[in-house]
C-alpha cells in the first residue's frame, strides 16, 4: 500500500469517527445485511477496503414502540389486538409499550436509584430479529388493580421446533414473559425462581394465541403467579404455567411501583 492510499484511508476513518460521535444511534453489523424499513434507516453506506462492512445509519431520537401493529400482523392478530385495546378505554387496562432494549423505557430516576445503565447494544430476547414477523410479534396489556395480564402473540417461522410447530422453548419464553411482566408490575424488580409448564397442545407456526397471567399470592418477597396460553378462539389450551418470582432487594427509600 502506497503512502497516498494509506493517508486517504486514515482520513476516511477519522471522518467516520467524527460522524459517529455526532449521531444518536449507530448500528454496525459485522456482515452485510439488507436495510430493514422497520428500523427506520435513512440509508446504507458501504465502506470499501480493510474489510467489507455495511454501516447503517438510524435516525430519530424517539424509539419505536414494537407493541404497535405492523404489516406482518395477520388479520387474526389485528382482531385480537383491537379487542384487547377496547379494554383500555375505561382505564382499567393499560397497553404496555415494548422496546428492543429492556431498559429502553425505564425512567432516569429508576436507573439512578438502582445504578442501572442502558446498553444500546443489548437486545430484549423477544425483540432480537430485525425483520418483522419472523419471530415474536406481540402486545401485552396489564390490569394493575386486578393483578392480571393479557397478551396477544403471533409465532413467526423462525421459532420452529417440530415441523410446522413452535419450539417448546419459544412457548416457555412467552409464558415466562407474561408471568414475569405481571410480577414486575406488582413487585417491581423480580427474577424468575421457578417456572413449571404443562404443554397441552402444539402451537402451529404463524398462529395467534392469547396468553394470560394472574397473581395468586405474595409471601414476603415471594411472588406466585399462574398463566395459560390458548388459541385465539379460546377453544384450544396450548399450555399452562405456574411461576415463582423473587422480589429483589429494594434501594433505600424505594417503596414505589414498577416502571411498567
Element (H, E) at 108: helix 108-113
Q: Which of 66, 52, 53 is nearest to 126 (CA)?
A: 66
Q: Looking at the structure, tell me whether residues 82 and 184 fall in a common domain.
A: yes
pLDDT attached to residue 49: 39
pTM: 0.71
Q: Looking at the structure, tell me whether residues 45 and 79 fall in a common domain.
A: no
Q: What's the structural domain count of the chain?
A: 2
Cell of 71: 404489516
Q: Looking at the structure, tell me whether residues 34 and 83 fall in a common domain.
A: no
Q: Which one is catalytic: 65, 130, 176, 255?
A: 176
Q: Looking at the structure, tell me whether residues 30 and 152 fall in a common domain.
A: no
Instruction: Give pLDDT tens digits for 109-123.
Output: 767 776 777 777 788
Q: Judge whether 65 counts as a catalytic residue.
A: no
Instruction: Give pLDDT tens digits for 176-189.
Output: 999 999 999 999 88
Domain annotation covers residue 70 = no
What per-residue string of b and e applies to 209-239 under the rule 16 or more CB within 10 Å gives b? bbbbbbbeebeeeebbbbbbbbbbeeebebb
Name the more confident of 14 and 201: 201
Q: Mean pLDDT in the chain?
A: 79
**Which residue range forms the structural domain that includes residue 182?**
75-247
Domain annotation covers residue 216 = yes
Amino acid at each position: 500500500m502506497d503512502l497516498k492510499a494509506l493517508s486517504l484511508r486514515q482520513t476516511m476513518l477519522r471522518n467516520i469517527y467524527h460522524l459517529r460521535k455526532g449521531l444518536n444511534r449507530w448500528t454496525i453489523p459485522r456482515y452485510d445485511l439488507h436495510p430493514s424499513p422497520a428500523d427506520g434507516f435513512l440509508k446504507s453506506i458501504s465502506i470499501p477496503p480493510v474489510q467489507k462492512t455495511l454501516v447503517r445509519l438510524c435516525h430519530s431520537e424517539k424509539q419505536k414502540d414494537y407493541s404497535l401493529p405492523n404489516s406482518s400482523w395477520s388479520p387474526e392478530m389485528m382482531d385480537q389486538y383491537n379487542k384487547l385495546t377496547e379494554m383500555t378505554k375505561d382505564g382499567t387496562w393499560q397497553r404496555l409499550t415494548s422496546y428492543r432494549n429492556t431498559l429502553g423505557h425505564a425512567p432516569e430516576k429508576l436507573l439512578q436509584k438502582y445504578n442501572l445503565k442502558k446498553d444500546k447494544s443489548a437486545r430484549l430476547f423477544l425483540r432480537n430479529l430485525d425483520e418483522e414477523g419472523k419471530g415474536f410479534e406481540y402486545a401485552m396489556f396489564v390490569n394493575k388493580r386486578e393483578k392480571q395480564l393479557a397478551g396477544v402473540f403471533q409465532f413467526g417461522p423462525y421459532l420452529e421446533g417440530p415441523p410446522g410447530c413452535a419450539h417448546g422453548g419459544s412457548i416457555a419464553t412467552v409464558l415466562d414473559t407474561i408471568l414475569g411482566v405481571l410480577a414486575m408490575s406488582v413487585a417491581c424488580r423480580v427474577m424468575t425462581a421457578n417456572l413449571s409448564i404443562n404443554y397441552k397442545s402444539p402451537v402451529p407456526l404463524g398462529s395467534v394465541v392469547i396468553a394470560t397471567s394472574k397473581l395468586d399470592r405474595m409471601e414476603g418477597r415471594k411472588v406466585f403467579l399462574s398463566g395459560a396460553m390458548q388459541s385465539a378462539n379460546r377453544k384450544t389450551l396450548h399450555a399452562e404455567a405456574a411461576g415463582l418470582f423473587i422480589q429483589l432487594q429494594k434501594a433505600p427509600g424505594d417503596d414505589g411501583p414498577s416502571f411498567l
